[in-house]
Structure 1
Amino acid sequence: MLSSKLILVTGASSGIGRSVAQVLTREGAKVVATGRNVAALNELKSSGGCYDFVVADLAEAGECERVVTSAAETLGGITGVVNCAGVLKGGAMGSIGLDNYMFNFQLNVQTVFEIMEHSIPHLRKAGVSSSPSIINMSSVTGKQSFGGVASYCASKAAVDQLTRCAAVDLAPDGIRVNAVNPGVIVTGIHQTAGLDDEAYAAFLKRCIEITHPISKSLGRVGNPEEVADLVSFLVSDKAKFITGECIAIDGGRQCMGAR
């Protein structure tokens, strides 16, 4: 289905980004993955989950441009970009400083902007016939406010608006731009953000029983491959008339208000 697609996937060392690289490759795309964990990227390539990879810390100056250039050279062009790299650092207004804001915005917004900026010339070169597209990994927190994660929520709302504006600006070039807004997905990001095993287990239990309506019937929250399947559709030619959308895949979480 994706045999003509040449795709760069960021944040592919783990979590959703890793699953996106695997699913797109399985569907026939030629994928260059990037992330910070060289061992994980080596394993991804050796297991057939990507065509090649670039090790990079996208927060470092110049790295976004280097990654895009390297991916274009390796793939012979770029027809699609999936921005999955991101972080979560919690904290409520009144208890956080500018460092918290900068941490969330640099990784979640600035790197998305930079990867898009450097990819656009390659997507334009690929031409309308290739159905070029950009997918930005956002969050349900971009659609709804939550306590205790002010900077993170704001960063994801910024990704959504950047996605919509870019969709309008790039439409004359035939470049589609969409975002995907997951609810709670089992990836490890919450443990990295500071939850210990006991707190994480309690968090997932509450998600299943209370905050994600479909989860109770499934007995689980979402998994990365489900998000990757949605991304696969959005980069495919079946989605040629979809642009400027921020699509929730959250088990109904956004319907539940602030619970």
Structure 2
Amino acid sequence: MGKLDGRVVIVTGAARGQGEQEARLFRQEGAEVVVTDVLDEPGEALAKELGALYLHLDVGTEDGWRDAVAAVKAAHGRVDGLVNNAGVLRFNALVDTPLDEFMEVVRVNQVGCFLGMKAVAPELADGGTIVNTASYTALTGMAAVGTYAATKHAVLGLTRVAALELAGRGIRVNAICPGAVDTAMSNPARLDPDADPEETGRALDALYRRLVPLGRIGRPEEVARLALFLTSEDSSYITGQPFVIDGGWLAGVGVL
């Protein structure tokens, strides 16, 4: 028996990274996973491997969400869960951030999360689940990623509001707040066919050994297990909460 047997769950940004691992784990646990992304080639390949449905979805468009929900209902008859995972990261000082760059990040991270909940929540079966990907930076500041941090603070606020508004239908809405995780977002070598991402990952571990109490960067599989917990009945009395998964980074700074 899988923890998600028979449930239909949409995962955005699922072609790689955290979304890919969430899709793999959810399928392993019995879910009918809907893989969505704008990266069609890897997304379609993953869906084929998993025996899942793939949909092209630009999360920042209302029409895209409407069409995606209609396609999921046509294929599976219903929707039971949503994981709003899609996101982008840009590095820049606040005073050097062009408005176009700011709005690009807002469109994907914040508007995408809002539109996903707006489109999917009315179609969710009572007792359904929504998991929004926020960030360590939803709960603290970090220099050079101000736009990203702002959108992730917003995602956390949207999560709490949605949890209150949907509780009457037994729909639970929670947020996961990862610290640094070894995906293409923090380890661009994973996108370079000539690079060794494992070697780069070891270098990142060395960097985070000085920053993170557990002494390493996180793995996307670890984040996927938290998303599974919040999508399954294991978390049946939890809603409106942020769940930090950061190796202890947010706990504070060691001086010795």
Q: Contact 2:176–2:227 at 8 Å: present in 1 too?
A: yes
In structure 1, distance between residues paired with 2:185 and 2:35: 19
For the aligned residue pairs, the C-alpha RMSD in angstroms reads 2.4
Q: Contact 2:82–2:129 at 8 Å: present in 1 too?
A: yes
Amino acid at match of 2:182: V
Matched residue SS, 2:95: coil
Q: 1:7 aligns with which of 6, 9, 27?
A: 9
In structure 2, distance between residues paired with 1:257 and 1:165: 32
In structure 2, distance between residues paired with 1:232 and 1:86: 19
| Structure 1 residues 36 and 88: alpha-carbon distance in aligned structure 2, compared to 1, 3 A threshold | same
Q: Contact 1:8–1:68 at 8 Å: present in 2 too?
A: no
Judge which range, 91-100 or 146-155, deviates more.
Answer: 91-100
Name the counterpart of 1:145.
141
In structure 2, distance between residues paired with 1:17 and 1:158: 20
CA offset at residue 51 of structure 1? Answer: 1.8
Name the counterpart of 1:205.
206
Q: Contact 1:5–1:79 at 8 Å: present in 2 too?
A: yes
Name the counterpart of 2:23.
21
Q: Which runs of 5+ in 1 are unaligned?
A: none
CA offset at residue 106 of structure 1? Answer: 0.5
CA offset at residue 200 of structure 1? Answer: 8.1
Name the counterpart of 1:245.
241
Name the counterpart of 2:128.
132
In structure 2, distance between residues paired with 1:32 and 1:74: 10
In structure 2, distance between residues paired with 1:142 and 1:202: 26
Q: 1:167 aligns with which of 163, 170, 174?
A: 163
CA offset at residue 21 of structure 1? Answer: 0.5
In structure 2, distance between residues paired with 1:146 and 1:257: 14
Name the counterpart of 2:48.
46
| Structure 1 residues 241 and 169: alpha-carbon distance in aligned structure 2, compared to 1, 3 A threshold | same
Q: 1:230 aligns with which of 220, 226, 229?
A: 226
Q: Contact 2:78–2:123 at 8 Å: present in 1 too?
A: yes
The yes-or-no answer on 1:75 pairing with 2:71 is: no
In structure 2, distance between residues paired with 1:79 and 1:43: 24
Query: After the TM superposition, which residues 177-192 of structure 1 pair with which residues of structure 2 at under 5 Å, given as runs?
Result: 177-191=173-187
Q: Contact 1:167–1:176 at 8 Å: present in 2 too?
A: yes
Superposed structure 1 runs of 4+ greater than 4 Å apart: 195-204
Name the counterpart of 2:85.
84
CA offset at residue 45 of structure 1? Answer: 2.0
Q: Which runs of 5+ in 2 are unaligned?
A: none
Name the counterpart of 1:254.
250
| Structure 1 residues 258 and 115: alpha-carbon distance in aligned structure 2, compared to 1, 3 A threshold | farther
Amino acid at match of 1:183: G
CA offset digits 1:128-166 (Å, max 9, x no partner): xxx201000111011110111111101001001110111
Amino acid at match of 1:31: V
Q: Contact 1:145–1:258 at 8 Å: present in 2 too?
A: no
CA offset at residue 257 of structure 1? Answer: 5.5
Amino acid at match of 1:59: G
Q: Contact 2:61–2:112 at 8 Å: present in 1 too?
A: no
| Structure 1 residues 236 and 61: alpha-carbon distance in aligned structure 2, compared to 1, 3 A threshold | closer
Q: Contact 2:204–2:217 at 8 Å: present in 1 too?
A: no
CA offset at residue 16 of structure 1? Answer: 0.4
